[in-house]
Amino acid sequence: MDWWRLQDSSMHDSITLYDRPELRHPRMLLAWPDPGHVGLRVVDYLRKKLRARGFAKIRPYDFSVAPWVSVKDGLMDRLEFMKNEFYYWKDAKGSSDLILFRSEYPAVNIYEYVCLVLDVASEFGVKRLYTASSFGAAGITHREEPVVLGVGNRVGLKATMEKYGIKPYPEYKGVGNIQSAFLWLAKKRDIEALSLWSPVPYYIARLPFPWSNYPKCSLAMLQKLV
């Protein structure tokens, strides 16, 4: 079995699949927490607008270190590990359905986590996926219109970026992130992947949530996707 692939012929045990929809040429959109709450807002808008249905989760225990807890009146009444869920939407008027994935960041075993998400993508025939995110950037202000930057894992995606007004991400060499892992490992599975970024003004990105909310970037990214 290849090191970038956790499954052979059946879904991995770490994935809880509670529905198996028949999807046509689905595309996939993924998001995690980011400065400005940009990516998750895009996914949540589509999820609610399209009434997408949940169908799978990754069992979180291998990817969490410190759980989220709730305490009231001296009693712990809630404990949650890494929250995540897959959703699907069937396009009755088109030929391509949609899978949405929203998740908290894994604290450990990042590459295993990425492989599990790609297992779901492969299982349902995804041939292109997108990640949606943001970062805090100096030199821009809230008075400017947001831009959307893109990084692809195939040369052919540069034409897609040009067509939809997505600017190629400037040259970078340094520490990567989970989006980098998705681009690289998706390529090994013959899946096109495009990582989208819409930078948020640094002075807003550094604020604690919810004051760091920046829906302008979410709208800019949504317009590119739809």
Sorted by sequence, the CB contacts under 8 Å of residue 183 that are 6+ apart come out as: 151, 152, 153, 193, 195
* Mean pLDDT over each residue of the chain, to the nearest integer: 92
pLDDT above 60 for 99: yes
Band (11; pLDDT cuts 50, 70, 90): low
Band (9; pLDDT cuts 50, 70, 90): very low
Phi/psi-derived region of residue 199, left when phi > 0, alpha when psi is between -120 and 50, beta in every other case: beta
What is the predicted pLDDT for the residue at 152? 97
What is the predicted pLDDT for the residue at 4? 45
Residue 17 lies in a domain: no
Band (13; pLDDT cuts 50, 70, 90): confident
Write out the residue range of the structural domain in which residue 150 sits.
23-225
Band (144; pLDDT cuts 50, 70, 90): very high
Answer for the pair 40, 34: CB distance below 8 angstroms, yes or no: yes
Radius of gyration in angstroms for the set of CA atoms belonging to the chain, rounded to a whole number: 18
Pull the structure tokens for residue 138. Answer: 């100096």
What is the predicted pLDDT for the residue at 1? 42
Residue 161 lies in a domain: yes
- Could you read off the pLDDT of 74-96 as tens digits, one per residue? 999 998 889 999 999 999 988 89
Number of separate domains in the chain: 1
Report the distance separating Cα 30 and Cα 151, nearest Å. 14
- Could you read off the pLDDT of 151-209 as tens digits, one per residue? 999 999 999 999 999 999 988 888 889 999 999 999 999 999 999 999 999 999 999 88
Residue 86 lies in a domain: yes
- Helix or strand or coil: residue 105? coil
Residue 8 lies in a domain: no
Sorted by sequence, the CB contacts under 8 Å of residue 191 that are 6+ apart come out as: 118, 121, 122, 126, 127, 128, 129
Residue 43 lies in a domain: yes
Q: Which CATH number fits the domain that encloses residue 47? A: 3.40.50.10900
Residue 54 lies in a domain: yes
Higher pLDDT, 66 or 207: 207
Among the listed ranges 60-64, 90-94, 207-211, 216-220, which one has the minimum average pLDDT value?
A: 207-211
- CB half-sphere exposure, 144, CA atoms < 13 A: 12
What is the predicted pLDDT for the residue at 171? 84
pLDDT above 60 for 139: yes
What is the predicted pLDDT for the residue at 3? 41
Answer for the pair 39, 101: CB distance below 8 angstroms, yes or no: no
Residue 16 lies in a domain: no
